Amino acid sequence: MTPTVLITGAGRGIGLELVRLYHARGARVLAVHRPGLVVPDALVALQEAHPESMRLIPLDVRAASVVVNLAARLSERIDILINTTGMLMGTGYAPSGNMIGGGLRSTLQVNATGPLFVAQAALSNMTRGGKIATILPIGDVRSLDLLDSDARQAAKAAVVKVMQSLAFDIKPAGVAVALIHPGAVGPTLDGRAASLSLADSALGIVKVIDELTLETSGQFFSVDDSAEG
């Protein structure tokens, strides 16, 4: 049976690479992207060429009331959910100005509570054997901003705890959860090339998801498939 994969953050970066990869593998892809922005040409081209196997879904994961209604927009059974809505402080969703009142709150909404809300919405369309993967936010490794680092570390800690709790809660339903670090896909501080290309990182993520089981649910993985508990 053809699997259906719901991918958030599908408009750029690793999310877009995962859309390409799962589509090439023959999956039906539901690509969630931020509303109000120009949808990348690559995403539009895939959807227009394969409307029967790909659907674009505009969604702001920060808005809990909107995400709750996601289930009503999904007519398909969801086999795999991949949360890739990481963000960088000072760009993307993050507003400028006061960190506590703006940047930190948005960072946590996008990277921690957002993935949880999406997972809860998708669960109504998942059955035993379903899988949920959340890609940990890596931020911009070029940044020397301590506030940026603190916000990203707080987001990482929050999403790990949130998803490990979810893994425990839904294990009886037969749905497995993974936390995945995508590897070094950003340039280094001295400007050298990344250790991994986006395509290689996506391949590693898919490998982890392929091999995820209920026995390893709730664990942390890197793209080399090493579980770290």
Q: Looking at residue 24, what is its pLDDT?
A: 93
**pLDDT reading at 183 higher than 50:** yes
| CA pair distance 54, 47, nearest whole angstrom | 5
Residue of 88 and 26 predicted with greater confidence:
26
Spatial neighbors of 181 by CB under 8 A, at least 6 apart, are: 135, 136, 138, 220, 221, 222, 223
Cα angle value 219/224/228 (rounded, 5°): 30
Which residue's structure tokens are 């996601």?
70
pLDDT digits (tens, 9 = 90+) for 197-226: 888 999 999 999 999 999 999 999 988 654
Per-residue b or e along 93-108, where b marks 16 or more CB atoms closer than 10 Å to that residue's CB = bbeeeebeeebbbbbb
Q: Does domain 4-222 have CATH number 3.40.50.720?
A: yes
Cα angle value 158/163/166 (rounded, 5°): 130
Measuring CA to CA, which residue among 6, 13, 5, 9 is closest to residue 196?
A: 13
pTM score, whole prediction = 0.83
Domain ranges of the chain: 4-222
- Quick one: average pLDDT of 55-78? 83
Which of the residue ranges 20-34, 128-142, 146-160, 181-195 has the most confident prediction, judged by mean pLDDT? 20-34
Which of the residue ranges 22-31, 85-94, 178-187, 196-205 has the most confident prediction, judged by mean pLDDT? 22-31
**pLDDT reading at 57 higher than 60:** yes
H or E element: which one contains 19?
helix 13-24
pLDDT digits (tens, 9 = 90+) for 84-124: 865 443 334 444 444 444 566 666 666 667 888 889 889 98
pLDDT digits (tens, 9 = 90+) for 119-174: 988 998 998 999 999 998 664 433 334 445 566 677 777 888 889 999 999 999 99
Q: Looking at residue 63, what is its pLDDT?
A: 74
